[in-house]
Chain A
Amino acid sequence: QSVLTQPPSVSGAPGQRVTISCTGSSSNIGAGYDVHWYQQLPGTAPKLLIYVNTNRPSGVPDRFSGSKSGTSASLAISGLQAEDEADYYCQSYDSSLSGYVVFGGGTKLTVL
Chain B
Amino acid sequence: QLQLQESGPGLVKPSETLSLTCTVSGDSISSSNYFWGWIRQPPEKGLEWIGSIYYSGTTYYNPSLTSRVTISVDTSKNQFSLKLSSVTAADTAVYYCTRLVGALRWKNYMDVWGKGTTVTVSS
Interface residue ranges of A57-107 to B (CB < 8 Å): 57, 89, 91, 93, 95, 97-106
Chain B residues with CB below 8 A from A106, complex form: 46-47
The count of A-to-B residue pairs whose CB atoms sit within 8 angstroms is 66
A48 adjacent to chain B (CB < 8 Å): yes
Contact with A along B90-111 (1 / 0, CB 8 A): 0000001000110001111111
Partner of B111, one of A48, A95, A98, A104: A48
Contact A33 B109 (CB under 8 A): no
Q: Is A112 interfacial (CB-CB < 8 Å)?
A: no
Is B33 interfacial (CB-CB < 8 Å)?
A: no
B48 proximity list for chain A (CB < 8 A): 103
> What count of chain B residues pass the 8 Å CB interface test?
25
A46 touches B111 (CB 8 A): no
- A93 with B106: CB separation less than 8 A: yes
Number of A interface residues in the complex (CB < 8 A): 27
- Any A CB within 8 A of the CB of B14: no
Write out the residue numbers on chain B whose beta carbons fall within 8 Å of the beta carbon of A99: 60, 105-106
A101–B116 touching, CB < 8 Å: no
Residue in A33, A48, A97 whose CB lies within 8 Å of B110: A48
In the assembled complex, the Cα of A58 lies from the Cα of B101 at a distance in Å of 15
* Beta-carbon contact of A95 and B106 below 8 Å: yes
Check if A103 sits within 8 Å of B62, measured CB to CB.
no
Query: CA separation between A34 and B111, bound complex, in Å?
Result: 14
Interface residues of A (CB under 8 A from B): 2, 33-34, 36, 38, 44-48, 51-52, 57, 89, 91, 93, 95, 97-106
User: Which are the 10 A-B pairs with shortest beta-carbon distances?
Assistant: A36-B109, A101-B49, A106-B46, A45-B113, A93-B106, A97-B63, A103-B47, A105-B46, A51-B109, A48-B111
What is the interface of chain B, defined by CB distance below 8 A to chain A?
37, 39, 46-49, 52, 60-63, 96, 100-101, 105-111, 113-116
18 extra interface residue pairs, beta carbon distance < 8 Å, beyond A36-B110, A44-B115, A99-B60: A36-B109, A45-B115, A46-B39, A46-B47, A48-B111, A51-B111, A91-B47, A93-B106, A97-B63, A98-B63, A100-B49, A100-B60, A100-B62, A100-B63, A101-B52, A101-B62, A101-B100, A104-B46
